[in-house]
Structure 1
Amino acid sequence: MRPDDIHGGRVVAWLGRPGVLIENDRLQATIVPALGSRVVSLRCKTTGAELLHTPASVEAYESAPMLYGIPVLFPPNRIAGGSFEYGGRAYRLDVNDPATGSHAHGFVHDKAWEVISCGKDEESARLVTAFDSAFHPSVTAQFPHRFRLVMRVELRGNALFQRIDVHNESDAAFPWGLGYHTAFNFPFGAASSPASCTFAAPVGRRWQLDARFLPTGELAEDARGARLRQGMSLSGIVLDDVFEAAGNGANEAVLTDPEAGIRVRYRADRSYGTWVLHNGDGGQGFVCPEPYTCVTNAFNLALPPEATGMQALAPYASASVDCSIIVEPYRSEES
C-alpha cells in the first residue's frame, strides 16, 4: 500500500504496520488492511478520547489480538471440533483453539485485505477494502467456496458506519455468519471512575453454555437482564456471556461515561440476533459488546435457523449487514 494509493486519507504506521487514517471534523479512525482490515482506533476529536481498546505494544497485541479494535469474525466465535455438515458436504476447519477443541473466530480477522478505494468529501470520509478467499489457499482448504467480503468504513458526522457485503462467488450455497469482537475502552476517560459509568445492552435470554463455552441449545432468563437493558455499572461485574438480542427497541449497546462527557451507541441492524458480552476479569479497562448474525456453533446446533441465526447464501448471491458507532456528548443533567 503506497501513500499515493490513498485519496482522502493518510497512510500511517500502527505497531509497525501500514494503516489508513480517515477523519472528519469530529472523529478520526485508523484501519489496518494487513490485520483483517481491522479498525484499530476511533478517536473523538472534541475530547481527545480513544474509544477503542488499543495495545501498548506489539507484544501486548500478539498476546491477545481479539481484545483490540474491531476484529471481523467470519464466521463468529467457536465451531465445535472445527467441523460441521451442510448440504451433504462435510467441512473440516482448523482447530485453532485447542483448549476447547474448536475452530475460533473464522477466516478473515488476521488476513490481509485489499484496499479498493479511499475518499473524502463534504459529507463523509471512507475506506473500502475487500477480502477474496480465492487468494488465500489456507482458507479455501477449509471452506471450499469462493467468497468475497467488501467492507465500507465511513465517518459521517458523529458516527462511524461499518457495512459488509458478503458475496458467494461459487456455484453452491454455503452457510455463513458474521460478527465483530469489538473492544471499547471503558471507561473512556483516563481519570473516570468505573463506578460512575454505565453499560446497557439489548439482551434477551441467555444461551446456556457447556464447559467448552458452546451453547447447549437451551436459553434461560438471566438475573442481570433487566439491569443490562436499562444500563448498569460494570464495577466488580464479570461478563462472558452469550445472549439473544431483545426484540424491542433499538438493537444497540450504550456505553456512558459521565466524567468524560461521552455516550457511545453501538448499533446493529436486525440481522444481528446475538450479542456476546465480555470484559475479561472485569477490571482491565475494556468491554466487548459483540454483535453476531448467528450464535456460537450455529452450524452444529439442532435448532431452526430462526433460533440460531444461521443463514445460507445461494450461488452468486449477496447479503449485506450494517453496524454503526454513534458518539454523543453527555451532560450530567441528562440523568
Structure 2
Amino acid sequence: MANVRQASWDGSPVYELENGTFLASLIPEIGSNAYRLRDKIAGRDVLRTPERPEELRASPGHYGVPLLLPPSRIRGASFPFNGRTYRFEPNTPDGHYIHGFVRMRPWRVVDTSADGDTASVTTEFRTADFPELAPQYPHDLTIRARTELNGASFVQTFSFRNGSDEPAPFGFGLHTWFLLDGEPERWTLKLPVSDIWELNEKLLATGSRLPLGRYEALNEGMNLEGQNMDMAFRIGDRPVEAVLSKPGYAIRYSANEPVTQWVVYTKGEARDTICIEPLTWTPDAPNLDAGPELTGMRAIAPGEELIVRTTLSIERE
C-alpha cells in the first residue's frame, strides 16, 4: 500500500511518498522541490539529492526537480510583452535573469492522498502572496503542483490559472537532475528533436536554428561517454519523450503539449549527472524575433487555466 507521511529533514518539514516502486521526498518550503526519488527495486537514487536542506537552500536549482517559472535565461533580465516591459531582478554576474522566482520560495500544502499503489502531495504557489513580485510579474498567477507516485511512474501535474485582468506571459520548465552513477559509458540518451537553438557565449538564444549535425544521433540514441552539453533543442513534430537507458533499465520521461523544447546539460563532461529539462519556451524566448510556433512563447488569458504534465517511468528487462 502506498502512503504519504510528514517528516522532518534536519528541522525542515518535508513530505515522504512511498509505493511499491519509489520513495520520494518533497520539501514545500524550498520551491516545492521533489528533491529525492529512490527506485526501491533497483536500489538506486534516480535524482541528484542534497545531503542537507542547507545545500538545497543555497543552490535550489541544482538538485532533484527544480520548478522554473520563467525558465532558463532572459537577456538583460527584461522583455517586452503586450505593450509593457517586464523587468526582473538580475541574478547573474552579467546582468541577466535565470530560472525564475518559484524555485526558492515557499509553497503551501493543500492536499495529500494515498490509495492502492498511488500516493500524492499537492502544493500551491500564488504570486499575489509575494508583494515583492508585483513589480516584476504583475499578474495574480496561481500554480498547483501535484506530485504523484503511481505504480512505476512518478507524475507531476502543474495547473496555472491567471486571476488577473490581462494576459500573463508564460514560460515554465523543470531542471530535472538525473544520476548517471559515475558510469556515463553505460548510459544512452534518446531524445527526439528537430533542430538546435544557437546559443551565444552567455548561453542566450540568438534566434537562429542550427541543423542537428552529429546530434542527429539523439533521435536513435546517443551514448553519453565524453559528451559535454549545455544545449537547447526544439522538439518540433517529434514525440515529447526522452529515454535515458542502460542495459536492462530505462527511464522514460515524457510531457504533454505545452512542452516544446528540451535543454540538456551535463555540467561539464558527463560523469555523475545529466539534466534533461522539459521547457514550454526556449531560452530568452520573449526577446526573440522567431515566431511563437518555434520559440514556445505564449500567454495565459485572464481566467484561463493551463496544464503541464510530466511522467517519469521506470522500465526493466
TM-score, scaled to structure 1 = 0.90
Instruction: Please state how far the C-alpha of 1:104 moved relative to its aligned partner.
Output: 0.8
How many angstroms apart in 1 are the aligned matches of 2:193 and 2:28? 32
Unaligned regions of 5+ residues in structure 2, if any?
none
Aligned to 2:184: 194
Instruction: Please state how far the C-alpha of 1:243 moved relative to its aligned partner.
Output: 0.6
The answer to whether the 8 A contact 1:72-1:109 is kept is yes
Change (3 A) 1:66 1:268: same
> What is the letter of the counterpart of residue 37 of structure 1?
S
1:32-62 Cα distance to aligned partner (Å, 9 max, x none) = 1011101101111112210001124456545
Q: Which moved more, 1:305-314 or 1:217-226?
A: 217-226
Which SS does the other structure have where 2:90 is aligned? coil
Q: Percent identity?
A: 35
Aligned to 1:226: 216
Aligned to 2:76: 81
Instruction: Please state how far the C-alpha of 1:223 moved relative to its aligned partner.
Output: 2.1
The answer to whether the 8 A contact 2:18-2:24 is kept is yes
1:92-145 Cα distance to aligned partner (Å, 9 max, x none) = 11101123x211111101110010000101251111100011111222231111
Which SS does the other structure have where 1:271 is aligned? coil
Aligned to 2:227: 237
Aligned to 2:5: 10
> What is the letter of the counterpart of residue 295 of structure 1?
T
The answer to whether the 8 A contact 1:36-1:109 is kept is yes
How many angstroms apart in 2 are the aligned matches of 1:207 and 1:283? 21
The answer to whether the 8 A contact 1:80-1:214 is kept is yes
Aligned to 1:111: 105
Pair 1:213-2:200 in alignment: no
The answer to whether the 8 A contact 1:204-1:225 is kept is no
The answer to whether the 8 A contact 1:183-1:286 is kept is yes
Which SS does the other structure have where 1:127 is aligned? strand
Aligned to 1:4: none
Pair 1:34-2:29 in alignment: yes
Instruction: Please state how far the C-alpha of 1:30 moved relative to its aligned partner.
Output: 0.9
1:59-103 Cα distance to aligned partner (Å, 9 max, x none) = 65455432210000111111111111111112111101123x211
Which SS does the other structure have where 1:203 is aligned? coil
**Count of aligned positions:** 316
> What is the letter of the counterpart of residue 21 of structure 1?
E
Aligned to 1:43: 38
> What is the letter of the counterpart of residue 255 of structure 1?
L
Aligned to 1:321: 308
How many angstroms apart in 1 are the aligned matches of 2:69 and 2:243? 24
> What is the letter of the counterpart of residue 244 of structure 2?
L
> What is the letter of the counterpart of residue 245 of structure 2?
T
Change (3 A) 1:118 1:63: closer
Instruction: Please state how far the C-alpha of 1:10 moved relative to its aligned partner.
Output: 1.2
Higher strand share: 2
The answer to whether the 8 A contact 2:35-2:50 is kept is no
The answer to whether the 8 A contact 2:164-2:303 is kept is yes
Aligned to 1:282: 269
How many angstroms apart in 1 are the aligned matches of 2:17 and 2:55? 25
How many angstroms apart in 2 are the aligned matches of 1:78 and 1:12? 35
How many angstroms apart in 2 are the aligned matches of 1:210 and 1:303? 16
Say what the alpha-carbon RMSD is for the aligned residues: 1.7
> What is the letter of the counterpart of residue 146 of structure 2?
R
Instruction: Please state how far the C-alpha of 1:8 moved relative to its aligned partner.
Output: 4.4
How many angstroms apart in 1 are the aligned matches of 2:223 and 2:92? 31
Pair 1:264-2:268 in alignment: no
Aligned to 2:92: 97
Pair 1:172-2:166 in alignment: yes
